[in-house]
Amino acid sequence: MSKRLVLAVLGLLLFSVTYGAERMVVDIVSTDAMVNVDDSLTTAQRTFQLNLLEKVLHSNEQSAEKWWITWTALYAAATVGQGAVAVATKDLSTRQDMIVGAGTTVLGMASQLFTPVSTDFKFIGADSIARLSDAEKQLRLTQGEEILKKQAQIAQAGKGWQVHALSGAVNLASGLITWIGFKRSFGEGVFNFALNTVITETQIWTQPIRAKKDYKQYLQAKNRGFGPFIAHTPEWYGQVSPASCSFGIRF
């Protein structure tokens, strides 16, 4: 493998990890109007509003954490497995494939570790909310609205063009190493690129995005005075774990 190619690939990989560590900030909607809770709300109305918001935040947080843990675990397992095969095998082609594969999954795991999708939200439940004073409810409501905005930002950033482009660049580098660096056939390089693209695109498109819809619906519901609150629209989802793979629609 030429030194220039090695340096180019290392530079790309370093850029990938560094860029991935910076979570993109997405300005969805200004929350200036959301910071101050209407003083005309009764205690019952404020409690009702806070209970609903808490449930939405809790649901979004659980979905995001499950996705993050699943993919982090998959990348970690793939890295260990491919590394072990690379050490044990005597076949040169297999060793090369495993080295490149382990390199891409290490980057995938690093991206997950540097870009967590969870927030600082801690669910307290209806019983705990009932014991709060009006001032405490107002404070938690304001904080919850900001957390919902953050959840929406994370959901939108996770499917931004930057994420697709970054994954594509890493996958392309992997294919070029297989083809040019290891002097394998062009078809093998293309296969490596295609396989990694399927994996990374699956990861991107299975990231939960319901928080983005919830945020928009929350603002609309608040403007209506919280008549009918958020009714989740159906959403397709995918869940991958080391032992299973499932897809469906969530209502």
Residues 31-51 have pLDDT tens digits of: 344 445 456 678 888 888 899
Q: pLDDT value at position 42?
A: 80
Confidence category of residue 27, pLDDT binned at 50, 70, 90: very low
The ranges assigned to domains in the chain are 3-25+35-250
Task: Enumerate the β-bridge partners of residue 238.
Answer: 247
Confidence category of residue 235, pLDDT binned at 50, 70, 90: low
Q: What is the CA radius of gyration of the chain?
A: 23
CB 99 within 8 A of CB 86: yes
Angle between helices 161-176 and 92-114 (to 10 degrees): 160
Q: Average pLDDT of 94-107?
A: 95
CB 182 within 8 A of CB 96: yes
3-class DSSP state for residue 185? Answer: coil
Query: How wide is the angle at C-alpha 225 spanned by C-alphas 223 and 226, nearest 5°?
Result: 105
CA distances from 112 to 18, 116, 197, 248 (A): 12, 6, 17, 24
- Four-residue CA torsion sign, 22, 82, 237, 65: negative
